[in-house]
């Protein structure tokens, strides 16, 4: 009986999840309430941190290497990151359909590219 319940539960879970897109992120970031602005900044900072740590885990963040998307200056502020991502999405409308973390990586890569010898 327990197996039947587990199987039934597994089938009740949707097979696909709707992805949070660059367009969704941009909509969130255009809202003016404190909660939305905080969520926007937190998502961008979290995605940036996640990408950085993933690249670091495969050996690529001690200077520009293959696969490193961006190099944030130590004094980068949250609003700068948000502005960079929103500008990139606005300048590249096709990115609105990408996964939001991909849009973050591309936007930060455009605004904060790694320089040779960094």
Question: Does 4 map to a domain?
Answer: no
Give tens-digit pLDDT for 91-100.
999 999 999 9
Question: Does 101 map to a domain?
Answer: yes
Indicate the number of domains in the chain.
Answer: 1
Question: Bridge-partner residues for 112, per DSSP?
Answer: none
Give tens-digit pLDDT for 77-96.
999 999 999 999 999 999 99
Question: Does 117 map to a domain?
Answer: no
* CATH number of the domain residue 59 falls in: 1.10.890.40
The Cα 55–Cα 75 span in angstroms is 21
* Tokens 């455009």, residue located: 110
Question: Does 64 map to a domain?
Answer: yes
Contact 89, 107 (CB under 8 A): yes
Assign 62 a pLDDT band (cuts: 50, 70, 90): low
- Domain span at 98: 19-111
Question: Does 55 map to a domain?
Answer: yes
* Tokens 């500008």, residue located: 87
Q: Count of CB atoms within 10 A of residue 36's CB?
A: 14
Question: Does 11 map to a domain?
Answer: no
Contact 69, 109 (CB under 8 A): yes
Question: Does 8 map to a domain?
Answer: no
The model carries a pTM of 0.74
Question: Does 85 map to a domain?
Answer: yes
Question: What does the DSSP 8-state code read for residue 64?
Answer: S
């Amino acid at each position: 009986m327990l197996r039947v319940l587990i199987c039934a539960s597994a089938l009740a879970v949707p097979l696909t999840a709707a992805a949070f897109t660059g367009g969704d992120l941009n909509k969130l970031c255009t809202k003016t309430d404190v909660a939305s602005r905080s969520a926007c900044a937190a998502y961008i900072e979290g995605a940036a941190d996640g990408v950085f740590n993933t690249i670091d885990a495969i050996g690529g963040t001690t200077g520009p290497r293959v696969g490193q998307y961006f190099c944030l200056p130590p004094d980068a502020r949250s609003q700068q990151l948000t502005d960079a991502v929103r500008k990139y999405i606005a300048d590249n409308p096709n990115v609105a359909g990408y996964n939001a973390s991909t849009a973050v990586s591309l936007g930060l890569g455009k605004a904060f590219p790694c320089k040779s010898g960094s």
